[in-house]
Amino acid sequence: MNAPGLIDQLNDAAQRAGLVAIGVAAVEPFADTREVLETRKAEGLHGGMAFTYRDPERSTDPARILAGARSLVVGAFPYSAGAVNDPSFDGPAGRVARYAITDHYASLRSALDEVATVLEDAGHRTRVVLDDNALVDRAAAQRAGLGWFGHNANLLVPGYGSWVVLGSIVTDADLAQSEPVPDGCGTCRRCLDGCPTGAIIAPGVVDARRCLAWLVQAEGTFPMEFREALGDRIYGCDECQEVCPPARRSPQAKETIHSPTSWVDLLWVLDADDDELLSQLGRWYIPRRDPRYLRRNALLALGNTADPHSADVRSEIERFVVSTAGDEMLQEHAQWALRRLDERMQAQV
Ligand code: B12
Ligand code: SF4
Ligand code: SF4
């Protein structure tokens, strides 16, 4: 086991790098998580997702990431989660979940790289992994004592809630393990009741087939029954965190967000060509890197939230009904958007 001085150095480096929590976990396979992945896959709750579900044996076995691995050093990087600035453009705007407004994974990676340097300088080998199919990040963070599994399935860090992204350094250093954090949800069920689609079917269990955060990333037709619930979202969903008391009390929830990328101009999404869309939004997970899915989401958000009296909005959507004759998927979403605008107009009179 390494000298305790190394842990102090890791903690100092983590603090300097902006991580709000860091801990150490053993590299033994996450057997419980593997079982959860297999069961959910068998029950269809993964909604066809690949990610960690693609190969649960791999994603739950950190030792496969680095030969001779002994420990995981897991870190949480906070992101701002308060009020969002108004759009910087006129016209209908698509809401972006806070984790995706800027590239917080890049900030997390450089923070973990800084911490990894301490291990490398002490003669150890390291590999940084985050939001990758290779490791179940929440399970690693829970084992490393960063926080507890919330009923909304997120990992909640005491004092910071769930407004954090998570990543690990896999290392051959043999480090003392951190203590787990006790459950902080108790009898609360605000996230279960607050989810707009009822996707949290039991504490800690998200049915991806109902989860808006997955449906905006999923291929194919957006399920009819959840189109209205999508509201103005174009990417991600923050609802089960916005209602969560520990998340609301966190310092991040008091940080107002001022960013040109807080909102996406929905009419621009319909107008822009593939290259432009991918150059602006390609950092997001888009199925098959196919920008049609951004247009699909934009059409639904327009139907739900654009001014139903706006001729500009209607003509943009109608263009998709007519000119995408070979693209039945977009045509059908455009038709839905027009019907929805009509319904909303009728509801106003
Ligand atoms: C696939 C995936 C998704 C999917 C599925 C999410 C899900 N709940 O499974 C979709 C696209 C829906 C998604 C959405 C989001 N995601 Co995501 N996603 C992932 C990914 C790639 C894999 C997650 C995974 O393996 N899920 C499989 C299941 C088995 O695990 P789980 O749901 O996390 O369940 C754990 C616990 O809930 C617990 N558990 C199981 N049963 C029970 C029962 C009880 C009673 C309790 C208390 C706990 C419990 O065990 C599981 C782990 O061991 C990870 C990155 C990674 N490589 O790990 C990011 C990740 C989980 N996502 C992240 C984020 C930020 C989000 C969103 C908040 C983004 C957004 N605003 O839209 C939402 C949150 C939705 C939600 N409520 O979960 C962060 C989570 C940060 C955090 N603080 O928890 C991660 C870790 C990415 C990262 N590196 O930071 N995501
Ligand atoms: S991300 Fe949205 S849709 Fe998914 S579980 Fe949370 S509140 Fe429900
Ligand atoms: S809303 Fe309540 S039950 Fe859900 S994660 Fe937050 S504290 Fe836990």
* pLDDT tens sequence across 215-266: 999 999 999 999 999 999 999 999 999 999 999 999 999 999 999 999 999 9
Can you give the pLDDT at residue 348? 82
247 CA: nearest ligand 3 atom: 6
Give the pair of three-digit tokens for residue 332.
Answer: 């059908």
- Nearest CA to 65 among 171, 174, 206, 177? 171
Helices (H), 171-222: 190-194, 212-215
Q: Which atom of ligand 1 is nearest to the CA of 241?
A: 68
- Among this protein's residues, is 131 annotated catalytic? yes
Residue nearest to atom 4 of ligand 2 (CA): 211
Domain boundaries, the chain: 4-79+99-171
Indicate the pairing of strand 93-96 with strand 263-265: antiparallel
Residues 19-37 have pLDDT tens digits of 999 999 999 999 999 999 9
* Sign of the CA dihedral running 323, 325, 329, 332: positive
The confidence score (pLDDT) of residue 1 equals 62
Range 4-79+99-171 has CATH code 3.40.109: yes
The per-residue pLDDT for 100 is 97
Q: Cα of 163 to ligand 3 centre, how many Å?
A: 13
pLDDT at 255: 97
Residue 322 pLDDT level (bands cut at 50, 70, 90): confident
Closest CA to 331 of 307, 302, 295: 295
CB 157 near ligand 2, within 6 Å: no
> What local confidence, expressed as pLDDT, does residue 41 receive?
93
Mutate to test the pocket of ligand 3, among 244, 248, 249, 250 (most ligand atoms within 8 A of CB): 244
Rounded distance, CA 108 to CA 73, Å?
13
**Sequence-separated (6 or more) residues with CB below 8 Å from residue 184:** 147, 148, 150, 156, 158, 246
Please give the average per-residue pLDDT across 304-313, as a whole number.
Answer: 97
The pLDDT of residue 49? 86
- Among residues 83, 231, 249, 232, which one has the least CA distance to residue 162? 249
Count CB-CB contacts under 10 A for residue 18.
14
